[in-house]
A = this chain, B = another copy of it.
Amino acid sequence: MGGMALGKDYATQECSIARALEIVGERWTLLVVRDALYGVRRYNDFLVHLGIPRAVLAARLQALTAEGILEKRRYQQSPPRDEYVVTDRGAALWPTLRALGRWGREHLGEEQLRVFRHVSCGTELGSYGECPHCATVVPVADVLMEPGPGLDPEPADPVSRALLTPRRLLQPLETPSA
């Protein structure tokens, strides 16, 4: 199938976690998926927001597309331009990212950088992305993201600035790009 070059797979492991990490466990990969869930779709937006080397970004986008986590789609013909959109399989990584982010905040002693709420009731999400109030798993598209108290209110790059306004996950990001 895709890459799976030497040393990239956990050969001896008979484990779903290991299989998952073979796909999304490389450096930068989960941050690309995170940005995609936040609504980032364009090569240049990933680039400036992540501060990732261009070659690595190209490799990750290709690998994620090959694995069906992102989908490459042409959004304009006349200078041919492509964007990368999360698929259902990619959106299904939300609970993992939510759990990881929550662990990071609770155990690395940070201020809250982003707040995630159930859009229909306003309740803040639990560790796995569930709504404690409604006692249901919140679909990714119904998650509202707001800036938390610890987040820089005047970030340098336009993508970070666009991500300051409260927005639903998956909602495509509009970049001023000027």
Write the residues of chain A forming the contact surface with B, with a CB cutoff of 8 angstroms.
10-21, 23, 25, 27, 30-31, 34, 50-51, 89, 92-93, 95-108, 110, 113-114, 126-130, 135, 137, 151-152, 155, 160
Report the minimal beta-carbon distance from A137 to chain B, rounded to whole angstroms: 6
4 additional A-B pairs beyond A20-B101, A130-B130, beta carbons within 8 Å, are A13-B31, A17-B100, A20-B103, A128-B137
B residues near A98, Cβ cutoff 8 Å? 99, 128
A19 with B128: CB separation less than 8 A = no
B residues near A31, Cβ cutoff 8 Å? 10, 13, 15, 17-18, 21
Give the distance in Å from the alpha carbon of A62 to the alpha carbon of B152 in the complex: 33
B50 with A13: CB separation less than 8 A = yes
B residues near A99, Cβ cutoff 8 Å? 95-96, 98-99, 128
B30 with A15: CB separation less than 8 A = no
Report the minimal beta-carbon distance from A123 to chain B, rounded to whole angstroms: 15
Assuming the contacts A17-B30, A31-B10, asked whether A106 and B127 have C-beta atoms less than 8 A apart, the reply is no
Give the distance in Å from the alpha carbon of A84 to the alpha carbon of B60 in the complex: 34
Task: Write 22 A-B pairs (CB below 8 A) sorted by A numbering.
Answer: A10-B50, A12-B51, A13-B50, A15-B113, A16-B100, A16-B114, A17-B101, A19-B108, A20-B100, A20-B108, A21-B100, A25-B27, A89-B107, A92-B103, A96-B100, A98-B128, A99-B128, A126-B137, A127-B137, A128-B129, A128-B137, A135-B135
